[in-house]
Structure 1
Amino acid sequence: MLPTGPPARRARLDAVTVTVWWAAPVEPASRPDLVALLDAHERERMSALRRAEDRARYLAAHALTRLVLAAGLDADPAALELDRTCRCGQQHGKPRLAGRPDAPGFSLTHSGALVGVAVGPGPVGIDVEQQRSLGDLAGLARHALSPVERAAGPVEANGFLVTWTRKEALVKATGEGLSSPMDAITLTAPDGPAGILDWPDSGGPWWVADVATPWPDHPGAVAGAGPAAPPIVVADGDAVLSVVRGTMGA
């Protein structure tokens, strides 16, 4: 059974805890109340996605983000203004809340049958990947694994995806995203606890930790700033999404 922490309808905004909500994708046509929470940019991005499953993941992840942040900040989820300005000036960077200096760090992710949102003090990043066959595993390994990791032995898909989730959580926490070279990061082996062995010029310290998910074939990881991982609590995002707008915190 997936462990749960504080009441799922309240974001836990304290000085030490990272809370992770997991939820299932939501078909937009079935939940116009959730679609109404999105801003114009989000609705445009969602509508542009060709596959129905991608639109369902997008809606669940972005609505869940708004709901948990609004609950913790005592705000209207639809009124939250997200700034996504990248270094290039376009609106595809790491999202942050505009005009809210009291806002926590947050990050979202989606893959396969899961979407996730992490909220915590300071910068935070989260990633989940559905385990699957990978066509060009050797090419992906050259891109994402450090020379030390590649020299450790044969690479198999499931172990690679565990390492990928850990590294993507880290680069999302920094705000650099996939523009940051993953092969510059050396982590512990995927079959053991997550940890950073070497990351030159990272601007750290940073931490990374595996996080439990509802599905064993969806490994997840969360990362943030600091010398060690804080307490990490897992909460029920489906319960949050099931609440009709206007009743959060009831």
Structure 2
Amino acid sequence: MADAWPPAPAGPLALAPDAVHVWRASLRPPAEVLARLEATLSPDERARAARFHFPQHRTAFVAGRGVQREILARYTGLPPAALAYREGSHGKPELDGAAGAAGIRFNVSNSGDLALYAVTVRRELGVDLEQLKPMPDGMDIARRFFSAPENEVFAALADDVRDLAFFRCWTRKEAYIKAVGEGLSMPLDRFDVAFAPGEPARILRTRGNPAEAERWTMLALEPGPGYVGALAVEGAGWHPVLFDWNAAA
């Protein structure tokens, strides 16, 4: 059976209007790869990396930003070190200069030792990744942040599937919030997502603007054992293309 996350083909990559590329990358690369990635960082990124107290946190930051630069360089034609960023609405990062004007959009999420990078053209998007762990307080967190309909579904689940369902719900809600670009200013209970076992990922309804739910398409991601992810993309008629960055690094 073919790997669902194969290495990308060598050389520059083009983004078709109906494609969303999603990359999976380890944040614990070999030392020589980490050194190469660090060499592409901006002075500000290097300064931020130096402020981390624990080496593993510094490594994850350097790898995360360096991989992001190498991935985006594949689409822009620019060297990784030449990429510049700006803050969009609510602080959402965007490419600056000609790369940004070309309509390339990206979003990033990391958890544990893994990161996901989603890239498309002229569509807003959001990606979220979570490492699975026991959630003894999952019911309490759900009552605080999930919507009333979501809590009804969550409370009815069997104990042995509830932790996984919690993270499926959480990643789908976070992916949507990141795609919209409103960050923490949007309450999590303002919209409902599908997350019950066997149910495809989608936005069921949004409050205040019911038509908003139809504006987005959602996809569940399986980045690897012990992780769950979700992707929310503006519009319909697109297809995902999955790559593993480390396989070609």
Distance 1:77 1:190, change over 3 A: farther
Q: Does the 8 Å CA contact 2:13/2:75 hold for their aligned counterparts? A: yes
Partner of 2:194: 188
The answer for unaligned runs of 5 or more in structure 1 is: 88-92, 243-250
Question: What's 1:97 paired with?
Answer: 95
Q: What RMSD over aligned residues (CA atoms) do the two structures have, in Å?
A: 2.4
Partner of 1:230: 238
Question: In structure 1, what is the equivalent of residue 228 of structure 2?
Answer: 219
Give structure 1 regions of 4+ aligned residues with deviation exceeding 6 angstroms. Answer: none
Q: Residues 40 and 84 from structure 1, CA distance in 2 versus in 1: closer, same or farther, beyond 3 angstroms?
A: farther
* Pair 59,187 (structure 1): closer, same or farther in 2 beyond 3 Å: same
TM-score by length of 1: 0.83
Deviations 1:163-194 (A, max 9, x none): 11111111111111233211112011342210
Residue 6 of structure 2 aligns with which residue?
4
Aligned to 2:220: 210
Give distance in 1, aligned partners of 2:237 and 2:166.
22
Task: State TM-score, norm by structure 2.
Answer: 0.84
CA distance in 1, matches of 2:171, 2:97: 31
Amino acid at match of 1:13: L
DSSP-derived class of the 2:201 partner: coil
AA matched with 2:76 = L
Cα distance in 1 between the residues matched to 2:124 and 2:10? 21
- Choose between structure 1 and 2: higher helix proportion: 2
1:174 corresponds to which residue?
Answer: 180
Distance 1:99 1:23, change over 3 A: same
Query: 1:1-250 to 2 correspondence within 5 Å?
Result: 1-4=3-6, 6-7=8-9, 10-26=12-28, 30=32, 31-84=34-87, 87=90, 93-100=91-98, 101-121=101-121, 122-134=123-135, 136-154=137-155, 156-191=162-197, 192-201=199-208, 204=212, 205-213=215-223, 215-226=224-235, 228=236, 230-240=238-248, 242=249
Q: Residue 34 of structure 1: CA displacement?
A: 0.7
Structure 2 residue ranges without an equivalent (≥5): none
- Distance (Å, rounded) in 2 between the aligned partners of 1:170 and 1:124: 8
Matched AA of 1:193: P
Task: Provide the C-alpha distance between the structure 1 equivalents of 2:163 and 2:239, rounded to a whole number of angstroms.
Answer: 29
CA contact (8 A) 1:168 1:178 kept: no
Q: Identical aligned pairs, as a percentage?
A: 32
Contact preservation (8 Å) 1:61, 1:109: no
Number of residue equivalences: 234
Q: How far apart, in 1, do the equivalents of 2:247 and 2:137 lie?
A: 38
Which range moves more in the overlay, 54-63 or 27-36?
27-36
More strand by share: 2
Q: Using the TM superposition, name which of 66-75 and 20-29 deviates more.
A: 20-29
The 1:132–1:103 alpha-carbon spacing in structure 2 relative to 1, beyond 3 Å, is same
